[in-house]
Amino acid sequence: MRHRRRRRQLGIVSAHRKALLRNLTRALVLGKRIQTTYAKAKEASAFADKMVTLAKQEGLHARRILIAKLGNPDIADILIKQIAPRFKDRQGGYTRVLRLGVRPGDGAQKALLEFTAVIEAPAKEKKVKTKKEKKPSEKAVEKASPKETLKAVDEKKETKAEKPSEKKEEEKKGGFLKSLRKFLKGSED
């Protein structure tokens, strides 16, 4: 019998619900915190707690069950090696749900789902801007004598004259918005 075992149905069929909880738990393991609706967060919290409890067992059987439930061996590995050791002394309550406010579009209660232990979120890679190196032709132009510079400029003009199709493609890049900007500015380039 299933007395008092009913959970939130979230207005979706069971297969969709299982996939939703799996995906929310995957995102939680990778990102360490996620933002979703309150009802989904409560359900995902319970599911994630069960997965952490399973990961604390650290056996082959537990690993295989985690892979079956989460659908990804990498996520199961992260749970077993990184997250479960932080909760070895705790008997439950691995996640928390914090209310954030109301979503403007549909009035749904938003919530933040995160692990209770301090787990560093993966650092976002910052793109380092490097100085662009000059092309060999530009370096040659800088070092060359004035006569050679004029020859290089003439060669550039010839190559530009030979490729009018590329210029047309460059003009098409702007598309509708570019033409709209030109119209609004009043310039006719």
Q: What is the pLDDT along the chain (189 residues), one digit of tens a residue?
A: 889 888 888 888 989 999 999 999 999 999 999 999 999 999 999 999 999 999 999 899 999 999 999 999 999 999 999 999 999 998 989 999 999 999 998 999 999 999 998 666 556 666 666 666 665 555 554 555 655 666 666 676 666 665 555 555 555 556 777 777 777 887 665
**pLDDT at position 143, please?**
58
User: What top-level class would CATH report for the domain 14-115?
Assistant: alpha beta
Give the residue carrying structure tokens 């149905």.
9
**pLDDT at position 137, please?**
57
> Which of 97, 79, 119 lies closest to 41 in space, CA to CA?
97
**pLDDT at position 24, please?**
95
> Which of 17, 29, 9 lies closest to 95 in space, CA to CA?
29
Domain positions in the chain are 14-115, 136-185
Dig out the tokens for 69 from the structure. 């439930």
Contact 110, 102 (CB under 8 A): yes
What DSSP character marks residue 4? T
Q: Degrees (nearest 5) of the Cα angle 65, 5, 93? A: 60
Neighbours of 67 (CB within 10 A): 15
**pLDDT at position 95, please?**
93
